[in-house]
Structure 1
């Protein structure tokens, strides 16, 4: 086999490989440039969804903190706790 025959065979293999890659990209709906961008966009969307879920969870916690301290039950619990502490102080003052 001569040098030029080997070069032609290598070029044919490279061309065939590029055709297969192009066909695969076309079937998946992505162009050459879009295939790289599509992978990054998928990662970005996954990251954004995770961050959005974390923010929603934080908002739920903050809403619970804001409403639990201002509810009627919370105020009643604090009032009863204060009365119990006042009675304990009176009890220790008598002793």
Structure 2
């Protein structure tokens, strides 16, 4: 093998190894589960958002006066 062919072979092997490493690390990062602390924070945030949606649904569907509506909006701002 000549020096040029050897050099091309080495560069091709390094490029292939680099692409394979990137592909495997990208797949691993997608497959990694969230940390338990992240899960706890997400569960709390989802619960808070559900409570707010319930209040908004109640505001929209109830047939109460504007005073009650203003009170509900203020209670949402306080949270």
Q: What is the TM-score normalised by the length of structure 1?
A: 0.49
| Unaligned runs of at least 5 residues, structure 1 | 1-32
RMSD: 2.6
The yes-or-no answer on 1:61 pairing with 2:24 is no
Larger RCO (CA within 8 A; separation ≥ 6): 2
The aligned counterpart of 2:62 is: 94
Q: CA deviation at 1:37?
A: 4.3
Distance of 2:31 and 2:42 partners within structure 1: 16
| Unaligned runs of at least 5 residues, structure 2 | 64-79
Distance of 2:28 and 2:43 partners within structure 1: 23
Instruction: Report which stretch shifted further, 70-79 or 82-91.
Output: 70-79
Q: CA deviation at 1:38?
A: 4.6
Distance of 1:51 and 1:38 partners within structure 2: 20
Bigger Rg, structure 1 or 2: 1
Higher helix residue share: 1
Q: What is the TM-score normalised by the length of structure 2?
A: 0.57
